[in-house]
Structure 1
């Protein structure tokens, strides 16, 4: 039905992405290592102990330049972050969060009322935008449809998905809601469409706003949704090249 084209995790919510070849999914949990750190704003009391909405955090919807951060997890648990406009930084997120937050300040409008404040660790689940632990699936055919409507090449990484799938027709994923699937050796149920925000307007290579994705979605398909949230209902491993199939 569909093939896993690539797998991505985002160790720090809204700050960077990292490609992986395989992942072990656990029932009722988010993708391991995905959005396990986040940067709350100085107006928020978020401490990582419980889920809160994305508005509590520094994010690409308000600071598009964050879209261009790339991240590498090192064998010792340290993280290396890069951005085309900044020197690279390697740091220990458990002890040097303030170093990372200071590094990001050059990307944030200093006149914004809410500023990035600290780095916190999620203790129960990754800080995905859904109020339940989820993984996100993106259909590359749907991306190509948006790309065609935009009239320019677009990176699918702007959607910040976990599992990029190839094979289904464009927008077929919206018909999967409520259905169960096998994904590699894991089992998932598709729960919801993903409603999009201004973060997707930012180019994941440069951080510059280069296309109005929301207007394209609304003008061509009368919605601003892209991708779907899934819940893991049986643990298993997923590798690049694995299949998504109806259970």
Structure 2
């Protein structure tokens, strides 16, 4: 397909706690019918959340999220999936390590996040995990794929470089023409030794306007997308249809 030849992975990113940190990884094992590994394993529900008992997947409005607090976008993390451990850092908070499945650590995590969440919103209340279900914005197990060239094109339109971490993607690909990834809807692609089916564009929200270094809203990404491209999509969602290992610099075919 025009503009899609020569694609290679340039970054792989996971977000163990929904809206609370991003982490670069060198490789990942994608599993058929599953989301990106160790991505959105936990989420932090606010005091007004309407959740079932036992908790199942719930829409993003029930959780702390970057749309509601730009400060959250400046959290970065390091994790140890084998130990269920996540270390969070932020310009305004001390670096701290948590095991979110431990009740005492979950309480400490909620307290750590509290100063980064607006006082006029329902306060952070509890850590949630749904075994076997990633707490992504979609109830389906999808992986997000984003293009470096599209990011560069949007950056040029805005007159400033944009960090990829504004978009909380899993797989970043270099070598495609700008916005060519949107032509992949309905197509199957090979990534490393895995195979995926591209299903839909990713509709974005104002959280992408927050700077992941400062936690401040500093650019109108939504306005720029609408003004220059006639939509507010960035990147695509794909479903893993054949398991396989992927790594930075792998070809995307």
Tell me, yes or no, whether TM beats 0.5.
Answer: yes
Answer yes or no: is 1:101 the counterpart of 2:110: yes
- Report SS of the residue matched to 1:23: strand
Query: What is the distance in 2 between the residues matched to 1:173 and 1:115?
Result: 38
Partner of 1:41: 46
Query: What is the distance in 2 between the residues matched to 1:50 and 1:234?
Result: 26
- Report SS of the residue matched to 1:207: coil
Partner of 1:27: 32
Deviation at 1:40, TM superposition (A): 1.1
Deviation at 1:164, TM superposition (A): 0.5
Query: What is the distance in 2 between the residues matched to 1:157 and 1:241?
Result: 19
Q: CA RMSD in A?
A: 1.2
Does the aligned pair in 2 maintain the 1:25–1:236 contact within 8 Å? Answer: yes
Deviation at 1:45, TM superposition (A): 3.4
Does the aligned pair in 2 maintain the 1:193–1:228 contact within 8 Å? Answer: yes
Give 5+ residue unaligned stretches, structure 1.
none
Does the aligned pair in 2 maintain the 1:62–1:198 contact within 8 Å? Answer: no
- Report SS of the residue matched to 1:117: strand
Query: What is the distance in 2 between the residues matched to 1:27 and 1:76?
Result: 24
Partner of 1:146: 154
What does 1:169-184 correspond to in 2, within 5 Å? 169-184=177-192
Does the aligned pair in 2 maintain the 1:6–1:240 contact within 8 Å? Answer: yes
Deviation at 1:46, TM superposition (A): 3.0
Partner of 1:57: 63
Answer yes or no: is 1:92 the counterpart of 2:99: yes
Deviation at 1:100, TM superposition (A): 0.6
Does the aligned pair in 1 maintain the 2:55–2:128 contact within 8 Å? Answer: no
Kindly tell me the number of residue pairs found equivalent between the two proteins: 244
What does 1:160-171 correspond to in 2, within 5 Å? 160-171=168-179
Answer yes or no: is 1:228 the counterpart of 2:236: yes
Answer yes or no: is 1:14 the counterpart of 2:22: no
Query: What is the distance in 2 between the residues matched to 1:30 and 1:110?
Result: 33
- Report SS of the residue matched to 1:118: strand
Deviation at 1:77, TM superposition (A): 2.9
Deviation at 1:123, TM superposition (A): 1.1
Query: What is the distance in 2 between the residues matched to 1:183 and 1:46?
Result: 36
Give 5+ residue unaligned stretches, structure 2.
none
Deviation at 1:49, TM superposition (A): 3.9
Deviation at 1:159, TM superposition (A): 0.4
Answer yes or no: is 1:70 the counterpart of 2:82: no
Deviation at 1:149, TM superposition (A): 0.7
Does the aligned pair in 1 maintain the 2:84–2:101 contact within 8 Å? Answer: no
